[in-house]
Amino acid sequence: MIPRIIHQIYENPAGPPDMFLSLSSTWKEHHPDWEYRFWDRSSIDSFLTLHFPEHVTKYRLFTYDIQRWDAIRYLILYKMGGLYVDMDFECFKPIDSLLNGYSCCVGLEPSEHARWFKLPFIVGNAFMATVPNHPYFEMITRDVFMNPTISLIESKNLFVISTTGPLMTTRIYDACPQKHEIKLLSPELVAPLSNKEVEMFIEGRETPEMEEKIEKAFAVHYFWGSWYPQLNG
């Protein structure tokens, strides 16, 4: 069984903004029997030193902070298992029924996002649940920490999502011999709104179709992308 641990990461020493704390509380509210682990810079450093000292140098040499935030989630899940979920995720109801009977479950990005890259689907990295030592996460950590860095991508955003983000997790899924062990959760369940729809929703311009999508979902990802300004500011 997937361990009943919820992992969330926020490395900035200032701590998460109030909105993130509010969204985080929804996961605790709907999962009172789960352990909740919040990872800050100090606990991340201790975890790396104790469990993955061989990766500390590469971790610190990543070009962008978001690459570190991506990389550490894979190491935590590979070592400990459980559920990792981004802090800009709101939970509406318990997710136990989504995970029961599976050793690895990963949420797909909205289909609109896949069409941007002319892909049939994108295996996201914002909602991931697994048992420890799953082969998929072993392949991910090997790719992130041991493969040469891709240096021919001019776009900073594309560079990040190709090296440590959802395009990488999709590529590894395609190559994983154990992909039959991985349950891909449809966007309707954990990411019902596209980036564009989220913008409309936050601005109060939601449509009946969007409200219906949210009503059916277990959670919604708001795609606030706090890392975008760091790359493009």
Question: Cα-Cα-Cα-Cα dihedral of 183, 193, 125, 186, to 10°?
Answer: 10
The SS3 assignment for 150 reads coil
pLDDT the model gives residue 231? 45
Q: What sign does the CA torsion over 196, 213, 7, 146 have?
A: negative
- pLDDT given at position 151: 58
| Residue from 126, 147, 128 nearest 227 by CA | 126
Check: CB of residue 101 under 8 Å from CB of residue 42.
no
Could you tell me the domains of the chain?
5-232 (3.90.550.10)
pLDDT tens sequence for the chain (233 residues): 999 999 999 998 889 999 999 999 999 999 999 999 999 999 999 999 999 999 999 999 998 999 999 999 999 999 999 999 999 999 999 999 999 999 999 999 999 999 999 999 999 999 999 999 999 999 999 999 987 665 556 688 899 999 999 999 999 999 999 999 999 999 999 999 999 999 998 888 989 999 999 999 999 999 986 444 444 44
Please name the helix (run of DSSP H) or strand (run of DSSP E) that holds residue 211, with its range, or none. helix 208-216
**Burial tier of 94 (Cβ tally within 10 Å: 0-12, 13-18, 19+):** middle
| Residue 153 confidence (pLDDT) | 60
CA–CA separation, 94 vs 218, rounded Å?
7
| Tally of CB atoms within 10 A around 173 | 18
